[in-house]
Structure 1
Amino acid sequence: MLKAKVVGRVWSTKKVEGLPNGAFLEVEIDGGARIVAFDVLGTGVDEHVLVATGSVAAAYFPAPHPPVDALVIGSIDPE
């Protein structure tokens, strides 16, 4: 699991069939690297989030699992 901050949205004109409603977000993980994560929570820019990666992220969805390898799984409250 990674701690990250949402820095932007990634727009897609087409999605894989079977992918639920949600958004692709660009998140910056600790250390400065950026990845794209799928979000089903309705998270906004500048929010801090937890991101699950790999097969754990894909397993959230019912079979057949869509090709998602980073998933926003929670919001972190500011300190």
Structure 2
Amino acid sequence: MRIGTVVGNIWATRKEEGLQGLKLLIIQPKKTNGQLADEQIVAADRIGAGVGDDVILTMGSAAVRSFSKEVICPIDAIVVGIIDGSDE
């Protein structure tokens, strides 16, 4: 899992059927020193994160497995938590 900050939203009227109904967010991951990384990741969100929220992401096959076994969703990353606080 990784930690990042939501920096934007993505809207797509035409997308893969498995993405229908999913909110897509632009996440900027955080480095181990807490600074934002240069890269950005597009992540699916089913829990209601918004711009400015610090979030927990899971990526790769773990993201796909977050859906039911019957649903194959073409995603690389999904938001699995909104961070309320941490001991850094």
* TM superposition score normalised by structure 2: 0.80
Contact kept, 8 Å, 2:18 with 2:74, in 1: the verdict is no
Amino acid at match of 1:37: A
* TM superposition score normalised by structure 1: 0.88
Mapped pair 1:77 → 2:84: yes
Partner of 2:47: 41
How many pairs align?
79
Identity %: 38
Contact kept, 8 Å, 1:3 with 1:29, in 2: the verdict is yes
Cα deviation 1:6-27 (Å, max 9, x = unaligned): 0000111123224463310000
Structure with larger Rg: 2
Q: Greater strand percent: which structure?
A: 1
Mapped pair 1:57 → 2:86: no
Q: Secondary structure at the match of 1:57?
A: helix
Q: For structure 1, list consecutive stretches of 5 or more residues without a partner in the other structure.
A: none
Q: What is the rounded CA distance, in whole Å, between the counterparts of 1:67 and 1:18 in structure 2? A: 7
Q: For structure 2, list consecutive stretches of 5 or more residues without a partner in the other structure.
A: 31-36
